[in-house]
Amino acid sequence: MASPLANTPPPALLVAGPTLVAARKAWLDALSAERGLSDNTAEAYERDTRQFLTFLAHHWGDPPELSDLDGMAPQDLRAFLAQRKRDGAGPRSLARALAGVRAMLNHFERRHGINAAAVRVVNAPAKPRGLPRPVPMDAAQTMLAPGTTWTELRDTAVLSLLYGAGLRVGEAVGLDCADMAPPIEILRIKGKGGRERVVPILPAVAEACEAYRATAAYTLLDGPFFRGEKGGRLSARIVQRVVERWRAALGLPDTATPHALRHAFASHILAHGGDLRAIQELLGHARLSTTQLYTAVDERRLLEAWREAHPRAVRN
């Protein structure tokens, strides 16, 4: 049987009854006028909802009217997503299509009183999780070279906490002076979901923090530990800019971000025999499956090394 979506009409045509055509046009016009959607988003909503209504016409045997959408069954939505998947749509495309259909049906519920409960019980397929992309070890070490000014020493201290302790950038700039009372040997970090973890601090990381403390333009007795030039709490955006400058200087890809230093912390420990459960605790991951992504990174690195070094490896 031919795919219902294979013969999707051009944008000017729509396989639907007049009441539904009019209601959908009013919704699309309101999106552009009231919400100021970008052209790409508006086109995606138009295309995805057109494909959905075209599918329903084939699925039900007749062009649907607005009243036909009242109390539509969840299996109709699932059948549409299954058809899109058979036609080659990936998880991101399916999620976008469902979002467009959901927005339209929710609007019809508010404006025309139809029951759109089906869109609230159907979930998009999970998007595949990409592998972490850590900063290479030599680049991470270069980024930690201490500067001379107090702001340069501050930046080194922050990056040391990302790479040397696995902190998120928000966790690092969120530290207060009370958290960093000397001697700095462990930190108690409250991370995502309010989960608290204990992070041991390497001597080199503690030294970087003390070098910053000794030269800071502000007395660090209370309040934020990492300060901006005007004395307020250091912004995560400033840290991002520091890494952007290093990225340009070292010729690193766009994936070299502050968070990639945290990835480097985990992947480099794992590469040197670190225990996966211990890394999970250090990073504050709720699920081991999240931490296990770093094993795939390590396996990929081993495969790349084999391809480069082994005499039998096939070279492009």
Catalytic residues: 168, 192, 259, 262, 285, 294
Spatial CA neighbour of 284 closest among 199, 200, 222, 207: 199
Gyration radius (Cα) of the chain, Å: 27
d(CA 103, CA 214): 55
Return d(Cα 91, Cα 124) in angstroms, integer. Answer: 8
83 near 3, Cβ under 8 Å?
yes
* Helix extents (H) in the chain: 18-30, 39-60, 74-86, 91-112, 137-143, 150-165, 169-173, 203-215, 236-250, 258-271, 276-283, 288-291, 293-309
CA dist list (Å): 86 to 6, 82, 90, 251:
11, 6, 10, 41
Q: Can you tell me the distance from the alpha carbon of 47 to that of 103, in angstroms, rounded to the nearest whole number?
A: 13
Nearest Cα to Cα of residue 200 among 181, 182, 185: 185
Reduced to 3 states (helix: H, G, I; strand: E, B; else coil), residue 287 is coil
The amino acid that residue 141 corresponds to is Q
Cis bond before residue 132 (omega within 30° of 0): no
Structure token pair of residue 204 = 């080199």
Residue 94's region, left for phi above 0, alpha for psi from -120 to 50, else beta, is: alpha
